[in-house]
Amino acid sequence: MSDVISWYKGSRDYIHATDLLASAWTLLPDIRSFAFSSRRNATHPTLWVPEAAANRPDMVATFACVGGSGVQERFAAIQDTSRTIDKHIPFDEERLLAGATLAGNAILAELNPGFSLWEHVSAMQKRLLTQLFRHPEWWLVRLEGNALFQAPQGIIRIEYQGSRQILLRSAISLNGASAGAVDFARREEPPLRPKDEHP
């Protein structure tokens, strides 16, 4: 079981996926691979429990991971709907992205020690998709990765790979080595269209 996440980032009215991921990362030591999936927004205090013990109506995300033992374990993030959240913590995405460079279908940056790897992935993927497509609002649906997430440093690169139904996937690399992939979906409509295409 994890600590309770009971804050929102910036002006959001839901728990940011990066905070769910940071909490999930403490569930096992020496995580070698993982897959995080978001089901819906968490708007109440939330914690991670073994998936088998989760009450499914309260489940907002899942986290499957393999630690040093080589055995996969599965967890679920559940929210306590009897409680509310009134705490907001600062999150300056513009400062995180200040040194990021967009090049074609990719974005890269040197990891800023003031932000977590989860925050880099989320902010950079959002900036990349906003650049490629005429849509400002995105939702982190899935993130999977390997042992490189253990001690990240150096250069992170995120490159758009394409879409699968409603999901837009990008590959993640750290210092040139493959580290995983991230899937985002649009929060609202309009038509999904690259900026260089016209109706």
**61 & 131 share domain:** no
Q: Identify the pLDDT of residue 110.
A: 96
Q: How far is CA 114 from CA 87, 88, 97, 124, 180, in A?
A: 21, 18, 12, 15, 22
- How many domains does one find in the chain? 2
Residue 68's contacts (CB-CB under 8 Å, 6 or more residues apart) are 29, 30, 32
Looking at residue 13, the DSSP 8-state letter turns out to be S
Q: Is the pLDDT of residue 156 over 60?
A: yes
The full DSSP string for 127-173 is: HHHHHHBS---EEEEEEEEEGGGSS--SEEEEEEEEEETTEEEEEEE
Which of 82, 111, 134 lies at the terminal end of a domain, its last residue? 82
Q: Identify the pLDDT of residue 153.
A: 87
pTM for the model stands at 0.89
Taking the C-alpha atoms of residue 129 and residue 58, their distance in angstroms, rounded to an integer, is: 30
Which of 33, 50, 82 lies at the terminal end of a domain, its last residue? 82
| 44-63 tens-digit pLDDT | 999 999 999 887 788 999 99
**159 & 115 share domain:** yes
| 5-37 tens-digit pLDDT | 999 999 899 999 999 999 999 999 899 999 999
**123 & 75 share domain:** no
Which of 18, 51, 82 lies at the terminal end of a domain, its last residue? 82
Q: Identify the pLDDT of residue 171.
A: 98
Q: Identify the pLDDT of residue 51.
A: 93
Residue spans of alpha helices (H) in 8-72: 17-24
**66 & 136 share domain:** no
Residue 113's contacts (CB-CB under 8 Å, 6 or more residues apart) are none
For the chain, what percent of residues have pLDDT higher than 90? 80
Q: Is the pLDDT of residue 84 over 90?
A: yes
Owning domain of residue 16:
8-82
Q: Identify the CATH number of the domain in which residue 101 sits.
A: 3.10.129.10
* The two structure tokens encoding residue 98: 């200040």
Taking the C-alpha atoms of residue 63 and residue 59, their distance in angstroms, rounded to an integer, is: 11
Looking at residue 31, the DSSP 8-state letter turns out to be -
Q: Is the pLDDT of residue 189 over 50?
A: no
Q: Identify the pLDDT of residue 77.
A: 96
Q: Is the pLDDT of residue 148 over 50?
A: yes
Taking the C-alpha atoms of residue 160 and residue 8, their distance in angstroms, rounded to an integer, is: 28
Q: What mean pLDDT comes out for the span 52-80?
A: 91
